[in-house]
Amino acid sequence: MRSGNFKQNYRQLLALTDSVPVIVWSCLLVALLAAAPLLLSKYYVSVILLLLITAVGVLGLNLLTGTTGLISLGHSGFLAVGAYTAGIVAGKLGWPMLAAIFAGGVSAAVAGIIVGIPSLRLKGLYLAITTMAFAVIINHLILNGGSLTGGSEGLTVPQPSLFGQALGAERGYYYVVLAFLVVFTFITLNILRSRIGRAFLAIREHDIAAKAMGVNLVRYKLLAFMVSAFYTGIAGGLLAYYTRYLNVDSFSLLISIEALSMLIVGGLGSVAGALLGTAFIVLLNESLGFVFGMIGASFGGSGSTAAYEIKGVIYGLAIVLFLRFEPDGLMGRWRDIKHYWTHWPFRF
Amino acid sequence: MDYFLQLVISGIAVGLVYGFIGMGFAMIYRATGVVNFAQGELMMLVSYIAFTLAGTFQFGFWPMLLLTTVASVLIGLLIEVLLIRPMLGQPVFSTVMVTIGLAVILRSVVVLIWGADPMPLNAGLPTEVIRIGPAGLYPAQLYAVGLMAVVLLGLWTFFRYSRIGIAMRATANVQTAALLMGINVKRIFALSWALSAGLAAIAGVLIGVIYDVNPGMWTTGLRSFPAVILGGLDSVFGAALGGILIGVVENLSEGYIGRGMKEIAGFLLILVVLMVRPYGLFGKPEIERV
């Protein structure tokens, strides 16, 4: 009798998934997300839209930090590069939307290589702070970019449109973003099951050992930076069309930290975890904003700043408590629950 | 030349504050391998505490500094026991994220308690500018020089001669061996946090007196990262020197290259330095075996 799920050849090992429930549930999730604009009000759709855009960027960060083990605090910089590139080529040169978004991704990827090169010799927290330096420098460049970036006045982005057809702010654009997320999730899963993904994992576990095993460190570390920055740049482009107004202040270091906290809450290194974590934090943020918005409104104007700060406290507490009590993230908890059910009545 | 000297001297004055914060970073890093991203926020919190103390008791500078340092050390210990110690055994990255979460909390707490408006921290120090050659300095900035000298000397003596200081160095060197030699590593960790918080207190009071206390003070902590990276994350004295260097470089680039360069000069500098020396100027290179 088969006592478990055994992979007996390489094709099985490398398959995207061999589990029918996973396929069914994934399809259901996508279908549900696709149906969301028809069922939900405009406000909720825009929240989900923001969630989907964030998820694209977090998937990118996950490839770098979760899979390759290179901690980056500079992803707000990549996001800014992507968003501003998209905004500039769309607003000033009149590029169509998809081209502008891709331009955002490509320019961020180039920035990723530029950051990656000095980072090749760095490890751990030195790397984290160096990538942070990059984000600070990018913000400075944008602030002093004159008429190109709009400086402190910001930059307006044209309305999203596809093939000359203007898309509604929520409904039409929503599907574009959803398509992006689905495609990028597929790309990520496929990267992970290829030679590249295995090289990334090897670097995370021990980069010198990986080198000894024949992984070209320079190449794969730069590749990780490039791919990760590309994702985040695309997210930036999508974000530019979502907010339709860009300002340096919205690309502060806090964005990088939020993205990292999403990864940790979800579970580092897992694609499903990244998506789950993004959903958790974005929804937490929104619901906190909602609750405290109501409290703030009932207290009048002065209450709303207090409400904003209390939101900050709860947000910080969420990060701390998660790390303290659930270091493997939501995915780790999910794994435990799954084990419990499959192995019952044994403990493990 | 006068302009140059003026920039250098005021750069040193600013850099001393970076140095104090940077030393706080290094103190924790060398013992525990964790960078405390909440150091700037801790500094801000302490500065506000000093503000309240000064407002209630009308202290002079020294009693205020002393009391604030004591309060800060207690806060540091509290943070270590409540948040950091339970993270032992977790990856470094997780602990770092805890400090980041703490930073977010502290930022909000400060605004919740003291409000968002900047306030002057009155320590009864004279405010007329003292001229040293071509540069003008506030008395508080001269105090900073003196304090830095005292702190450096004190720390050097502490690490060189005191039993606990030597135990701290041993722990920083090889943690396992230190444990085997009977050093209470937990206590060393707590002590590192306490010392680091004490350094944050000095920085906080100085910034509060020189400028004012405001909810944006924590960005000074961010700007101090280049200092500690330049010196090497595990070198306390390197951080002090790095801070001064960064202060001078910031001022010079602002003065000669252009407005706004101050914000990024330090970060540009460390990018260059790290390419040549990936462990900073005085950091200990990590030799790895597979």
Rounded-to-integer distance, Cα A207 and Cα A203, Å: 4
Compare CB distances from A319 to B100, B260, B286 and report the shortest one's residue: B100
Contact B97 A316 (CB under 8 A): no
Contact assignment for B267 to A71 by CB distance below 8 Å: no
Q: Is A140 on the interface with B (CB under 8 A)?
A: yes
Amino acid identity for residue A302 in this structure:
S
Assess whether pLDDT exceeds 60 at residue A305. yes
What's the pLDDT score for residue A178?
A: 93
Q: Per the CB < 8 Å rule, is A323 touching B35? A: no
Q: How many CA atoms lie within 13 A of A108 on its CB side?
A: 36
Yes or no, beta carbons of B260 and A257 under 8 Å apart:
no
Cβ pair A317:B267 closer than 8 A: no
- Average pLDDT score over chain A: 87
Indicate the residue type of B246.
I
Q: What is the pLDDT of residues B133-154, one digit of tens each?
A: 777 778 888 888 888 999 999 9
> Distance between CA B80 and CA A231 in Å, rounded?
37
pLDDT of A311 higher than 90: no
Type of residue found at B43:
M
Q: Has residue A187 got a pLDDT over 90?
A: yes
pLDDT score of A348: 62
Residue B102 near residue B87, CB atoms below 8 Å: no
Facing residues of A156 across strands? A245
CB contact under 8 A, A327 and B102: no
ipTM of the complex: 0.85
Residue in this structure with the two tokens 């991704």, named with its chain if needed: A105
Per-residue pLDDT reduced to its tens digit, B48-73? 999 998 888 877 888 888 999 999 99
Q: Report the alpha-carbon distance of residue B152 to residue B165 in Å, rounded.
A: 14
**pLDDT the model gives residue A296:** 63
CA-atom Rg of chain A in angstroms: 21
Measured distance CA(A184)–CA(B66) in Å, rounded: 56
Residue A206 with chain B: CB contacts under 8 Å = 290
Is the C-alpha dihedral spanning A293, A298, A300, A306 positive or negative? negative
Chain B environment of A208 (Cβ under 8 Å): 288, 290
Distance in angstroms (rounded) separating the CA atoms of residues A286 and A128: 28
Q: What's the pLDDT tens digit per position in A25-43?
A: 999 999 999 888 888 888 8
Alpha helices, DSSP H, located in chain A? 10-14, 20-39, 42-61, 75-91, 97-119, 124-143, 171-192, 195-205, 207-212, 217-243, 253-266, 271-299, 301-325, 329-343
CB spacing of A309 vs B226 below 8 angstroms: no
What torsion do the CA atoms of A309, A310, A315, A317 make, to the nearest 10 degrees?
120
- A54-111: pLDDT as tens digits: 999 999 999 999 899 898 999 999 999 999 999 999 988 888 889 999 999 999 999 9
Contact predicate B47/B204, CB 8 Å: yes
* Half-sphere exposure in the Cβ direction for B85 (13 Å, CA): 16
Contact status of A146 with chain B (Cβ, < 8 Å)? no
Map out the domains of chain B with their CATH numbers.
2-276 (1.10.3470)
Is residue B97 left, alpha or beta, with left meaning phi > 0 and alpha meaning psi from -120 to 50?
Answer: alpha
Q: Which of B263, B270, B278 sits opposite A121 (nearest CB)?
A: B278
Are A115 and A74 in contact, with CB atoms under 8 Å apart? Answer: yes
CB distance B111–A305 less than 8 Å?
yes
**Under an 8 A CB cutoff, do A312 and B105 touch?**
yes
Contact present, A237 and A103 (Cβ < 8 Å): yes
Chain A residue numbers touching B95 (CB-CB < 8 A): 323
**Which residues fall within 8 angstroms of residue B285, CB to CB, at 6 or more apart?**
B278, B279
CA distance A138 to chain B (A): 9
What pLDDT does B195 receive?
Answer: 93
- A155 pairs with which residues across the strands? A246
Q: Rounded mean pLDDT of chain B?
A: 88
* pTM (two decimals): 0.89
Residue in this structure with the two tokens 């505490």, named with its chain if needed = B49
pLDDT digits (tens, 9 = 90+) for A198-234: 999 999 988 889 999 999 999 999 999 999 999 999 9
CA distance A99 to chain B (A): 32
The pLDDT value given to residue A99: 92
pLDDT of A166-184, one tens digit each?
A: 777 667 888 999 999 999 9
Residues in chain A: 348
Distance separating alpha carbons of residues A42 and B83, to the nearest angstrom: 40
Q: Is A168 on the interface with B (CB under 8 A)?
A: no
Closest CB to A130: pick one of B87, B97, B274.
Answer: B274
Antiparallel, parallel or unpaired: β A165-166 and B135-137 = unpaired
How big is chain B, counted in residues?
A: 290
Determine the distance in angstroms separating the CA of B218 from the nearest CA of chain A, rounded to an integer.
Answer: 13
pLDDT at B41 over 60: yes
Distance CA A307, CA A295 (A): 7
* Interface list for B 219-278 with A (CB within 8 A): 222, 225-226, 229, 233, 260, 263-264, 267-268, 270-271, 274-275, 278
* Intra-chain end-to-end CA distance of chain B, in Å: 53
A166 touches chain B (CB under 8 A): no
Nearest chain A Cα distance for residue B253, angstroms? 14
Is residue B74's pLDDT more than 60? yes
Q: Which residues of B touch A132 (CB under 8 A)?
A: 225, 267
Asked whether the beta carbons of A173 and A159 are under 8 A apart, the reply is: no
Residue A253 to residue B41: CA distance in whole angstroms: 15
CA distances B121 to A4, B38, B60, Å, are 68, 22, 11
Q: Residue A310 has what pLDDT? A: 81
